[in-house]
Structure 1
Amino acid sequence: MYIFIINPIAGNGKAKRIFSQIKETKQYHKINKKVFVTKYNGHAEEIAKKIVDFPSIKVLIVISGDGTLHEVINGMKEKRHLPIAFIPGGSGNDFARGNQIMKNPLHIFQSIIEDENASPYWIGTFHFNGTKRHFVNSIGIGFDAEVAKCANESVMKKWLNTIGLGRLIYLFALIKTLFRFKLFDVELGLDGKRYHYKKCLMVLAGNHQYIGGGLKILPDATIQEKYFSVLIIHGVSKRKILALFATVLWGGHTKFPGVSILKAEELNIKQIKLNRPIYYQVDGETAIFKACTITKEDKPIQIMGTKYQVKSAND
């Protein structure tokens, strides 16, 4: 059985339109299937919790943005054997970009039906206040989270999605956030070693290269089982930040002073010194930050429709 989970409002209706196209194909009418449509935030996680024990599931097809995929992964719990096929229908679609998933949704669907091979993908895990959650793309504290929050709340997001320019919302949000963001001091633990950074802009851990609708923020990140890449931007004046982010599209920001990229099996974000709340983002969804520990899951999920090559942790 093929299980579909569709977020009809993702990408201002883009995911819904994609599903309508898929329903017109011959392959769709030939397969045994069940369709679930999300109705509110968190609904995809509830659906995933209920369906993972269904008998004879062949593949779980998610048509949505990255936020809905995040919910599905967290709802699956430890059911890592169940193949997932992601057809991107959101604004940023960084998961599809980082996993080299084809752009044409009908081609993706055709490949899912015709090719049952799946590739391993090691998701990240973060622990805070006794709670364990997963992320598929990245978790970031500071500037990127404030940009994501600004983009999610912007009235322009829906309009830009309507005219096919949804990625521009992240550029507008970046510029707006730049003028009001306050730098912070942070204490980090990376694989048992302590680091102190002052005047920090952001700390980000990611499973692949991209955030914010195509920004190549972690250019050396590879999909493998052991390490995730960690970016720290610190000691950079605000007037240089815009110049720095102008080079992120091709990964040129790594040459700026104050940009550190490390590898870690475990990252502890221990303390942030700031006299106001600071936000973190997980797969583009934001909340007020709390101290946390970030690791990679030992057992991978299985992703269909990708073209990436799994790297050795030593590469």
Structure 2
Amino acid sequence: MHVLFIINEAAGNGKGKKVWHRLQRHLTIHYEIAFTEYEGHGLEIARRWAHGAQTRKLIVIVGGDGTIHEVVSGVVHNDFMVIGVVRAGSGNDFARYFPIFRNAKQIETYVQSELAGISMDIGMIQFGTMQHELFVNNAGIGFDAYITKYINKSRLKYYLNKIGLGKLSYAAAVVRGLFGFERFDVTVRTNDQEWHFKQAWFVAMSNHPYFGGGMKISPMSKPDDGKIEVTIVHGISRLKLLFIFATVFFEKHTKFKEITFLQSNQFEIILDSDKIDSHTDGNYIGVIEQGMVIHCGVKQNAWKTMTLDK
């Protein structure tokens, strides 16, 4: 089996570099290395390495959710590529659900046994007539994207990573952003059904349960069931929203009437208010205009993950 390590040394504000150096000291198998140097580079590397492959290859990502998003997007529908991950990000939501490598010995055992990968779904979202975006974990419009934009611009994540609390950057940003965010109205359609939500905080589209550094926002989500789960938080005060965010870590938020859960293989989401932010896998992707139709769906058997137990 051919093995490529794609390393984002900047992941986790430098954690990626430290994790790779520690891992590399114990590797004895033959492998290739590629370092990401800019946003989108992981996708380019993965796509180039996967092109024309006729034998099974293992890509091991050393990085966080953003790097995983890029690499998986670069190998969709290529049956010869298997994805493995050594976590090195801040939130590490992928690693909370999918199996990951924890040390060099696990990687080498996997390579020697040549175990087959397990096929997984990938989410797809398209804004109007724009090019579609893929997501491994989740996508969203509203407050979660607003927070993502703030985190990406601020130094908050950097300083929390410095003291080993990077996973709290999302929660800390939530508290700060509560009083600056403007709620919105939204319509959600699937098949022959339609719902209208007033004063929505966010619409989250999930392919697995976790987002925001460990919040289990969508407990019923499974990345291999051919469905996307949509979570809408609506008609709730700022203070109560803060309380609900605290309950998400323990799956208690499912009891609130202001949180609606929907499941289907495709959705249409129409923004009925002014402009709103959007993201995929924690990567801020821009502003959605009022009236724009957002198409969300799922591609089945889109990529393969390795099969070790977590």
TM-score over 0.5 for the pair:
yes
Conserved 8 A contact 2:187-2:196: yes
TM-score, structure 1 length as denominator?
A: 0.90
Partner of 2:10: 9
Partner-residue secondary structure (3-state), 1:302: strand
Shifted more, 171-180 versus 11-20: the winner is 11-20
Distance 1:108 1:186, change over 3 A: farther
Distance in 2 (CA, whole Å) between partners of 1:238 and 1:151 is: 20
Does residue 123 of structure 1 match 2:143?
no
Distance in 2 (CA, whole Å) between partners of 1:190 and 1:108 is: 42
Partner of 1:34: 32
The Cα of 1:63 is off from its aligned counterpart by 0.9
The Cα of 1:171 is off from its aligned counterpart by 1.4
Distance in 2 (CA, whole Å) between partners of 1:179 and 1:91 is: 25
Give the counterpart letter for 2:286 in structure 1: I
TM-score, structure 2 length as denominator?
A: 0.91
The Cα of 1:53 is off from its aligned counterpart by 2.1
Distance in 2 (CA, whole Å) between partners of 1:107 and 1:205 is: 36
Partner of 2:272: 272
The Cα of 1:125 is off from its aligned counterpart by 1.0
Distance in 2 (CA, whole Å) between partners of 1:206 and 1:89 is: 22
Partner of 2:164: 164
Partner of 1:313: none
Render the CA deviation track for 1:19-68: whole Å, top value 9, x for unaligned: 1122111xx2332x211001111111111221112654521111111111
Conserved 8 A contact 1:21-1:106: no
The Cα of 1:101 is off from its aligned counterpart by 3.3
Distance in 2 (CA, whole Å) between partners of 1:207 and 1:189 is: 18
The Cα of 1:259 is off from its aligned counterpart by 0.6
Partner-residue secondary structure (3-state), 1:30: coil
Distance 1:77 1:180, change over 3 A: same
Partner of 2:60: 61
Partner of 2:19: 18
Does residue 263 of structure 1 match 2:268?
no
Shifted more, 210-219 versus 45-54: the winner is 45-54
Partner of 1:312: none
Partner of 2:237: 237
Alignment of 1:1-315 (within 5 A): 1-25=2-26, 28-31=27-30, 33-53=31-51, 55=53, 56-101=55-100, 104-106=102-104, 108-115=106-113, 116-128=115-127, 129-274=129-274, 277-290=275-288, 291-307=293-309
Distance in 2 (CA, whole Å) between partners of 1:111 and 1:182 is: 51
The Cα of 1:77 is off from its aligned counterpart by 4.4
Render the CA deviation track for 1:253-273: whole Å, top value 9, x for unaligned: 111121111111101112231
Give the counterpart letter for 2:174 in structure 1: L
Conserved 8 A contact 2:201-2:234: yes
Give the counterpart letter for 1:212 in structure 2: G
Distance in 2 (CA, whole Å) between partners of 1:263 and 1:296 is: 12
Conserved 8 A contact 2:122-2:134: yes
Shifted more, 184-193 versus 74-83: the winner is 74-83
Distance in 2 (CA, whole Å) between partners of 1:162 and 1:111 is: 33
The Cα of 1:108 is off from its aligned counterpart by 4.6
Conserved 8 A contact 1:191-1:265: no
Distance 1:306 1:123, change over 3 A: farther
The Cα of 1:80 is off from its aligned counterpart by 4.1
Give the counterpart letter for 2:44 in structure 1: E
Number of residue pairs aligned between Structure 1 and Structure 2: 302
Give the counterpart letter for 1:159 in structure 2: Y
The Cα of 1:106 is off from its aligned counterpart by 3.9
Shifted more, 215-224 versus 230-239: the winner is 215-224
Identity over aligned residues, as a percent? 33
Render the CA deviation track for 1:135-161: whole Å, top value 9, x for unaligned: 100011111111222222221211211
Partner-residue secondary structure (3-state), 1:150: helix
The Cα of 1:111 is off from its aligned counterpart by 4.8
Render the CA deviation track for 1:101-146: whole Å, top value 9, x for unaligned: 36x3446534533442322211111123241221100011111111
Distance 1:221 1:195, change over 3 A: same
